[in-house]
């Protein structure tokens, strides 16, 4: 069998990668939340220098940004701006549920859907990229802020952060 025949089409590979990355994002968010649930809530809510004053506010930023990007790739998604302002336990639940919703939606996208260009016009930028680019942006953004949360946790005295690297997920956690 030739290498060309054994290699899946680019479109199928792209669909696999986007689905796997969305599943990874859900797993990583849940792993981080489950770790944070073991910590005293008063410490998790304490201010720590970062982009956002607290871990909870950073989690809200993650979930609201994921909701925004879901509304970009899914025309049926309902999002009109930041609306969530729950307590810590509600924030934990919402991040996990929304990450699952995002992963489940990405699972429904066909290769042609992923390549479909979608115009985004907002106060900060305008672009017209394929949906897979927006999915990658969303997942990368969440990864960035999960890293900040680990650093904030370290500054608050948490020394046992979980491993949430993409390769760890692929090798050990799937």
Rounded Cα gap, residues 114 and 95, in angstroms: 24
pLDDT per residue as tens digits for the range 50-105 = 999 999 999 999 999 999 999 999 989 988 887 788 899 999 999 999 999 999 99
Say what the pLDDT of residue 56 is.
96
Say what the pLDDT of residue 8 is.
57
Q: What CATH class does 12-173 carry?
A: mainly alpha
pLDDT per residue as tens digits for the range 109-133 = 999 999 999 999 989 999 999 999 9
Q: At what angle do helices 55-73 and 88-108 cross, to 10 degrees?
A: 20
For the chain, give every domain's residue range: 12-173
Please tell me the pTM assigned to this model.
0.92
């Amino acid at each position: 069998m030739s290498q060309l025949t054994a290699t899946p089409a680019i479109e199928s590979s792209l669909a696999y990668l986007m689905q796997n990355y969305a599943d990874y994002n859900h797993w990583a968010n849940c792993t981080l939340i489950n770790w944070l649930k073991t910590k005293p809530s008063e410490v998790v809510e304490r201010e720590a220098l970062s982009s956002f004053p607290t871990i909870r506010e950073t989690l809200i930023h993650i979930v609201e940004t994921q909701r925004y990007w879901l509304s970009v790739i899914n025309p049926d998604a309902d999002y009109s701006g930041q609306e969530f302002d729950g307590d810590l336990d509600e924030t934990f639940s919402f991040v996990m549920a929304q990450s699952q919703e995002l992963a489940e939606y990405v699972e429904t996208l066909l290769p042609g859907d992923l390549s479909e260009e979608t115009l985004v016009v907002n106060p900060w930028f305008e672009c017209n990229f394929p949906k897979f680019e927006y999915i990658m942006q969303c997942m990368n953004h969440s990864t960035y802020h999960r890293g900040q949360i680990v650093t904030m946790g370290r500054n608050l005295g948490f020394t046992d952060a979980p491993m949430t690297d993409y390769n760890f997920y692929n090798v050990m956690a799937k």
